[in-house]
């Protein structure tokens, strides 16, 4: 399941429209349950776990950088990594929370 957070807003100007970045944080949980009532022929809900995030680092849409934050199982432990151009490095839980609060696209996978 993919969730897209609209982090830009259209600002009308005299002869055009300007896009402006919304910089406030949002709250995204690590787990989500899609209720059975929202699924055809389902007797119970479906659980999903956060698996990746696309985030924008920078103060405006005219500048900045997009990064991906992905989850990977290493020696039976789930770890989070920031993928930034040619490098990928493990991030802390605190850093993950920051990326979650400023993310644009969130990918969830079905829980097993």
- pLDDT for position 10: 82
Domain that holds residue 73: 2-110
Number of domains, the chain: 1
- The pLDDT tens digits of the residues spanning 12-58 come to 887 888 788 877 788 888 998 888 777 777 677 789 999 999 998 87
- The pLDDT tens digits of the residues spanning 63-72 come to 788 999 999 9
H or E element in which residue 96 lies: helix 93-101
Q: Which of 73, 95, 94 is nearest to 82 (CA)?
A: 95
Asked whether the predicted pLDDT for residue 80 surpasses 90, the reply is yes
Domain of 45: which CATH number?
Answer: 3.90.70.10
Coil, strand or helix at 40: coil
- pLDDT for position 89: 96
């Amino acid at each position: 399941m993919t969730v897209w957070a609209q982090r830009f807003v259209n600002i009308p100007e005299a002869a055009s429209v300007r896009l402006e970045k919304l910089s406030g944080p949002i709250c995204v949980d690590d787990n989500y349950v899609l209720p059975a009532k929202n699924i055809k022929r389902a007797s119970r809900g479906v659980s999903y776990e956060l698996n990746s995030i696309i985030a924008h680092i920078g103060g405006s849409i005219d500048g900045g950088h997009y990064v991906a934050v992905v989850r990977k199982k290493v020696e039976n432990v789930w770890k989070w990594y920031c993928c930034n151009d040619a490098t990928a490095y493990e991030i802390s839980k605190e850093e993950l929370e920051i990326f979650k609060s400023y993310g644009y696209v969130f990918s969830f996978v079905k829980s097993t």
